[in-house]
Homo-oligomer: A and B are copies of this chain.
Amino acid sequence: MSTTHTIISQIFRDIVLSQNESRMIEDKMERIELKKGSSLLQAQDTVFHQYYVDHGCLRTYFIDSAGKEHTIQFAINDWWISDYTAFFNTGKAIMNIETIQDTTFYKISRSNMDALLLAIPQLETFFRKKMEGAFASFQKRILASLSQTAKERYLSFITTYPNIEQSVKNYHIASFLGITTESLSRIRKEIAQNSVS
């Protein structure tokens, strides 16, 4: 069994696919390995693909009109990521995507996805549920930013993304939490002191 074939059963483990259907999907997904610090997508690029992370870590970020960088999302293994607003309509990206670890991922284009959705109706259910999950986690993120302290958001971050803290830069985490790197250091110190005493 090829690596790609195995990955198809992993990605789509929630649904039952025939061998033929698996092969169709396999044909449409491209495996890519990138070193840490590579750019996948830049603002103003037309967005043709979404990405499934096998292992490693991707980051989407947005640069505002004042040049300030905001981390929107990290994607670790078994997450899908893209600039979705643009991907849905094959429009222009407003976000950037880069690898922040050596990363292996699979990409699929909108047109290939549409062809697969027509050919394999179960994929509609699969991707609708993925969208529901993504939507829910986005909503959770908005509400957290409104209601939680920076310390609570930091603790939630290290639970959601275990093991990535050592490989991402402090300013990535700070810009994801909407705080300065100085505040991040202070929070870490607080937590370390509490766990010692």
Q: Which residues of A contact B (CB under 8 A)?
A: 62, 64-65, 70, 72, 84-85, 88, 94-95, 117, 121, 124-125, 127-128, 131-136, 138-143, 146-147
Contacts and interface: CB of A to CB of B under 8 A. Distances in A.
A131 B125 contact: no
Nearest to A146: B70
Given A138-B139, A139-B138, A132 B88 contact: yes
A163 to B, nearest CB: 25
Residues of A contacting B: mostly = helix
A85 B140 contact: yes
B138 A135 contact: yes
B62 A136 contact: no
A84 B137 CA distance: 10
Contact of A143 (B94, B117, B146): B94
A160 B134 CA distance: 23
A139 B84 contact: yes
Given A62-B143, A85-B140, A135 B125 contact: no
A85 B117 contact: no
A147 B88 contact: no
Nearest to A132: B88
A62 B140 CA distance: 11
Contact of A135 (B70, B84, B124, B140): B84
Contacts of A72: 139, 142-143
